[in-house]
Every structure is written in structure tokens, then in C-alpha cells.
Structure 1
Amino acid sequence: MQYTISASVFLAIVIIARLRRTTHARSRVDEAFTVFTAVVFGVLIAATAWGHAILQFVGVAVDATR
């Protein structure tokens, strides 16, 4: 049996693990790496059906606040 994992799922797990740590012990490099992984995750998920659904949801929320 072979298991596969997509890059976006892997990055989501990494981001969640990094954000659960305490914030007072982070260096600038650590924070920059977390931001970089979050941006790459956003780029990877933007082209998927989930990304389009999130974009549509945010658009509806923005229209509701006007």
C-alpha cells in the first residue's frame, strides 16, 4: 500500500506545528520562516477548489460588511 501527501497538506501541518509553539522564544529567522511557509501554502492552495471556495467566502464576507 502506498500513501501520498500533497505539498499543501504538508505545509499546513508544518504551519500548524510552528504556530502552536510559544511566541516569546522566536527569533527573526524563525518568524520569517513561518511567514515564508504560510505564503507558499497560500500560493499552492490558491489554484485548488478549496482555494476558490475560500476566495468566494471572503468575497461574500467583504460584500456583507459594506
Structure 2
Amino acid sequence: MLTINVAVLLVVIVVLRLRRRTQARSRSDERMTVLIVLALGIILAPTEVGQDLAAFLGQLVSSVSQAAQ
């Protein structure tokens, strides 16, 4: 039996959608991409991976802001 992690599937979909040229996207296509990214965020947020990613991004933003000062 093959199982697919929903978060991994959404990441693949987001990457494929974002690879397309911006000029080729309609408003409804952009809205769909935003909804998919929001769904991915909701799925990842309560997980350990989501928490680690949030901590990493927080440290990155903090170090960039300190470097800019």
C-alpha cells in the first residue's frame, strides 16, 4: 500500500505552480496558489517540522535585522 504525506504533496504542487511564468497566471490561478500555500501552512504549523521551521525563520530574520543595524 502506498501512502502519500499530504504536506509533501502540497509542497510539490506549490513548487510546480510557482515555476510557471508570472505572465501566464490568471487571478483565479493566483488565488488557488494562495489557498494551497495556506493549507500547507495550516498542516505544517502544529507539527515538529513546522515548529522547527518557524524557529529557523525567526533566527534568520533576527540575524538579518541585526546585521542591517
Q: TM-score, normalised by structure 1?
A: 0.86
Alignment match, 1:51: 50
Percent identity, aligned pairs only, is: 37
Q: TM-score, normalised by structure 2?
A: 0.83
Greater share of helix residues, 1 or 2?
A: 2
* Alignment RMSD (CA, Å): 1.2
- Report how far residue 7 of structure 1 moved: 1.2
Q: What residue ranges of structure 1 are gaps of 5+ in the alignment?
A: none
Q: What residue ranges of structure 2 are gaps of 5+ in the alignment?
A: none
- Once the two structures are superposed, residues 1-40 of structure 1 have per-residue CA deviations (whole angstroms, 9 ceiling, x without a partner) of x221111111111111111111111110000000110011
User: Partners of 2:47 and 2:11 in 1: how far apart?
Assistant: 14
Number of residue pairs the alignment of both structures matches = 65
Q: Does the C-alpha gap of structure 1 residues 24 and 47 become closer, same or farther in structure 2, counting only changes over 3 Å?
A: same
User: Partners of 1:8 and 1:54 in 2: how far apart?
Assistant: 14
